[in-house]
Amino acid sequence: ILGSKYAVHSIVGKGGMAIVYKGENIETKEVVAIKMLKEEYLENTEFVSMFEKEAEIAKVVRHKNMVNTFDVGKDDGCPYLVMEYVQGRTLKEYINMKGILPEDEAVDIAIQVCDAIKYAHDNKLVHRDIKSQNILLSAEGVVKVGDFGIAKMTTSATMTTGGSNVLGSVHYMSPEQARGEEVDHRSDIFSFGVLLYELFTGRLPFDGGDR
């Protein structure tokens, strides 16, 4: 039980620094997703700071094509986010299952992703990790862009590095992001271009390693 309000149930996903659980609001019985920092990073001030920054961003962004956040908190020193639970699969899983998508369906998905990216940019937010693994498709066909874990407000220094590591997904990131330089909304547009290629061909334009 978190904060005397949320019951944590099964794991639904794992990322580089966090685990997402299926949970429940004890008062309303609403099913939610609960994102918690991995235990091994709780003593790492850099990762805790990144997670808390995501929580700050989550408070100010809300859009029909984003995974919206309901609550943020900390329980016994562990920070957590309470988000809407999206019943469905990732866009990556869907593409792997279907192969090349019908043109109308690919266009519809692309438009919904665009709406979310535009909303983020209008609110001075650069996502910095647009990729099919971070996009959810609900059972009703609604696209939800998630995982703002490395997003930054453009009013602050928007660097791509986290310590000695470049943050982001190598197959989708722009050249300046790969070099660890400052990024702006154009880096998201580059990543979206890679996503478009994947949507219409069923594969990535670049399939090399991470060097």
Which residues form the catalytic set?
A: 129
Q: Can you tell me the distance from the alpha carbon of 71 to that of 26, in angstroms, rounded to the nearest whole number?
A: 14
Its sign, for the CA torsion 114, 119, 124, 129, is negative
Burial (CB count within 10 angstroms: exposed 0-12, middle 13-18, buried 19+), residue 204: middle
Q: Is 143 exposed, middle or buried (0-12, 13-18, 19+ CB in 10 A)?
A: buried
Q: In terms of DSSP H, where are the helices of 31-174?
A: 45-60, 91-98, 103-122
